[in-house]
Chains A and B, each alone.
Chain A
Amino acid sequence: MSLKDQSRSPGLLSTTALATVERAINTALRSDPASADRLALHAGRLLAIEVTLPPLAIYALIVEDGVELYHRSDANADVTVKGNPMDLAALLLNWNTRPGVIGGPVDISGNRELLQEMQQLARELQIDWGAILEPVTGSELAQQLDYSARRLFGWARQAAGRLTEQLADYVGNESGLTPGRRDVYEFGQDVDELRMDVDRLDARIQRLRAARAGVNSNGSTTD
């Protein structure tokens, strides 16, 4: 981290937001002891998530009872992923991606196995809403809410998947807003061909210039 970065004043709002996310993750983990135990096996590992736009870094330190999130860290991360927010979310949350909508380049450096394990954990995390809500609502209502929440989240996940597919179809095929992979490939080929043509033409002009300069100099000596 640069000296300039280190001198930046810490922001209370962003710290609050990060603390809230950390609390949400740890609450979810506490309601799924199996996932928490699997995560605890990696205690001490550090994941860095670097968002390109807006520029933002989040460091996740795995600890025995969950995760701790920070905006900055001087430690070397075990694995670093870098990309735009949508692509990072797609990678980390295993969204069902479609070409042309989500799934752009994400830079990954470091321990890829650790990242895969974290992805799997996120996918398999079973939040026990009943256990979270029971102290507040009592067991009966908590069970009902748990059942409703699972249905709601199941529906939401399916709806998000369908929406992504439909969006991909619309953007890619119907609206013509984004080109298909074949179009992009052919466009690239055309650009390459044009570049080579320009190079050849440039070489020809240089050769002709040189020839003309030679003729002129010969002419001047004979005069």
Chain B
Amino acid sequence: MNDETKVTHFGYQQVPWQEKQQKVAGVFRSVAGKYDVMNDLISMGSHRLLKRMTIELAGVRPGHKVLDLAGGTGDLAIKFSRLVGETGQVVLADINDAMLAVGRDRLFDAGCSHNTQVTQVNGECLPFEDNSFHCITIAFGLRNITDKDAALRSMLRVLKPGGRLLVLEFSTPVHKPLAKAYELYSFGVWPKLGKLIVNDADSYQYLAESIRMHPDQDTLQGMMDQAGFARTEYFNMLGGIVALHRGFKF
């Protein structure tokens, strides 16, 4: 099947393969200005703790080169910029120009412009040389990429041997009552908050739907194995609502 006839999911909708990227771009353009506020609201602040855990497992130290892919508003990039110090470098990369604009301003305001770069990239075909980065993180971004396998292969290519990939992403709750409560909350509350804060209920309806369509923990781990990552593992957080996957390049 060629790309013109292939379909993929955009939330619960089936859309032509090439259209998903544009549709996702539309979602993030719509919410970029209030993205952080909305994240705080819908996650009740827990996304900051989850990102902290990601940073701790990243093993980043002074002199390292880090790629924060789908880094959006730069939460992780700011922290990494401080960890890698003067001799290191952080690349904040996102496919969405509106999100990058917010991220670039935040990096500048946080005094991190000396060791950071901001780059608009497509995660499926990263425009970096082979073996460039000690660490790659993608937080709440893989879900939105159309060809996840291609993206994982691309990330593996640009990682240095010994480097690690961390994927922080919504996943599948491990307990049924929690899953039910989470479903009620995400489908019932998120679109309403979206309407209230950014006047866009559809984007948060997409968010809730896209989470259900995203591979569960074991499937994603299998995809990382398939892409060539070694010693893959995952950590369930908030009862599996979010999972942090980690894999190494050897």
Partner-B contacts on A (CB < 8 A): 1, 6-7, 9-10, 12, 15-16, 18-19, 44, 61, 63-65, 68, 70-76
Contacts and interface: CB of A to CB of B under 8 A. Distances in A.
B49 A7 contact: no
Contact of B85 (A15, A44, A74): A44
Contact of B52 (A1, A9, A15, A76): A15
Contact of B83 (A10, A61, A64, A71): A61
6 contacts: A10-B237, A63-B82, A65-B111, A68-B79, A72-B56, A74-B61
Contacts of A61: 82-83
A19 B82 contact: no
B235 A10 contact: yes
Contacts of A44: 62, 82, 85-86
B182 to A, nearest CB: 16
B233 A10 contact: no
A68 B61 contact: no
Range class of the B interface residue count: 20 to 34
A75 B53 CA distance: 16
A200 to B, nearest CB: 55
Q: Which 4 A-B pairs have the closest CB atoms?
A: A75-B61, A10-B53, A74-B59, A9-B235
Interface of B: 46, 48-49, 52-53, 55-57, 59-62, 79, 82-83, 85-86, 111, 233, 235-238, 244
B111 to A, nearest CB: 6
B55 A70 contact: yes
Contact of B237 (A1, A12, A64, A71): A12
A12 B61 CA distance: 23
A16 B47 CA distance: 11
B52 A19 contact: yes
A10 B48 CA distance: 14
A73 B61 contact: yes
A44 B81 CA distance: 10
B246 to A, nearest CB: 9
A72 B57 CA distance: 8
B49 A68 contact: no
Given A68-B79, A70-B55, A75-B61, A16 B86 contact: no
